[in-house]
Amino acid sequence: MKTAPIVLFCFNRPEHLKKMVEALQQNALSAVSTLYVFSDGPRNQSDMSKVAAVRDYLVTLSGFREIHIVEKQENAGLANSVIAGVTEVLQKHGRVIVMEDDLVCTNDFLDYMNKMLVEYKDAPSVFSVTGYLFPIEVPKTYQLDICSLPRASSWGWGTWLNRWEKANFNVPDFSEFMQNPTAKKGFMQGGEDMLAMLVKQRLGLIDSWAIRWCYTHFKYQANCLYPVRSKIHSIGTDGRGTNVRYTNRFRTDTHEGGLSMPDADSLKIDAVIQKGLQRFFRLSPQRRVINYFKVFRRWEKQHMLEEKMIPAFAPQHKLT
């Protein structure tokens, strides 16, 4: 099997990076895989020593068939780095496995991901695959090793060029989308938090490629495939990451062992698993109020000034 290239994004956390790479090196397929590393530049003076430590470590890397390291002199930010780096590698190879510097994988992660990228490359409803599963309920009656969900994952994921090309990270139809209550409700079937994140991205309050990739999945009514037992553990929820504060909320046990690859037609969204996903991302009443006044009202005012249109958002969004 010809392996998919691995794309690794790193910034200023040398300790996290070392643990991530050491775990990846334990995979048998690492020796026959090409590794592309994109090292972002410092944001300010305080970042310089940490970025330098990351790059000192990168020159010692081994254990892969080929290693390509791209060092940015200036800070591009995570979103721009991922969009540009994934696009570049996909245009060369057609498929890709994407990792960030705070993800620790199991010893069979690469085997699992490569098989997924082969098995589902021609399944039009599958836009991405991942090795991570949120700590949500999978019913004992669920017989498959893989589940399908309408939310893309940014932790240990993979995709194909013909899916990635469908993403327009400028989201030119955003205003039209926000005028459509049915569309907004449909988007949040993958999590109540998603709409606010998309608006925050539009307002420049966050720098997220992932929420726009989720929107691409929604726009094309596509899904991401997850293992029912995670093969990825994040060590980046310690408060030092770009978009995640300190939390144990996403912590999950990992599991080694081969997973069967069911036919794509049998991977319909399981209602119980989807309900578990929605419960996991359900917002508190306080957060809904904060989002309404600090996110949606702010967007309404900006939108009316720019487009001179009637306010589009009313607080509702009960998921079904």
Query: Is CATH 3.40.309.10 correct for 6-169+209-282?
Result: no
Q: Which residue has the tokens 């699992």?
A: 112
Yes or no: say if 262 and 163 are a contact pair by the CB < 8 Å rule. Answer: no
Rounded-to-integer distance, Cα 140 and Cα 277, Å: 16
Q: Count CA atoms closer than 13 A to 7's CA, side-chain side.
A: 24
Model pLDDT, residue 303: 79
For 263-300, what is each residue's pLDDT tens digit? Answer: 888 889 999 999 999 999 999 999 999 999 999 999 99
State the pLDDT at residue 259.
84
pTM of model > 0.75:
yes
At 91-139, the pLDDT tens digits run 999 999 999 999 999 999 999 999 999 999 999 999 999 999 999 989 9
- Residue 237 is predicted with a pLDDT of 63
Flag whether pLDDT at 247 surpasses 90: no
Spatial separation of the C-alpha atoms in residues 53 and 62, rounded to whole Å: 17
Burial of 87 (0-12, 13-18, 19+ CB in 10 A): middle
- pLDDT, residue 108, reads 96
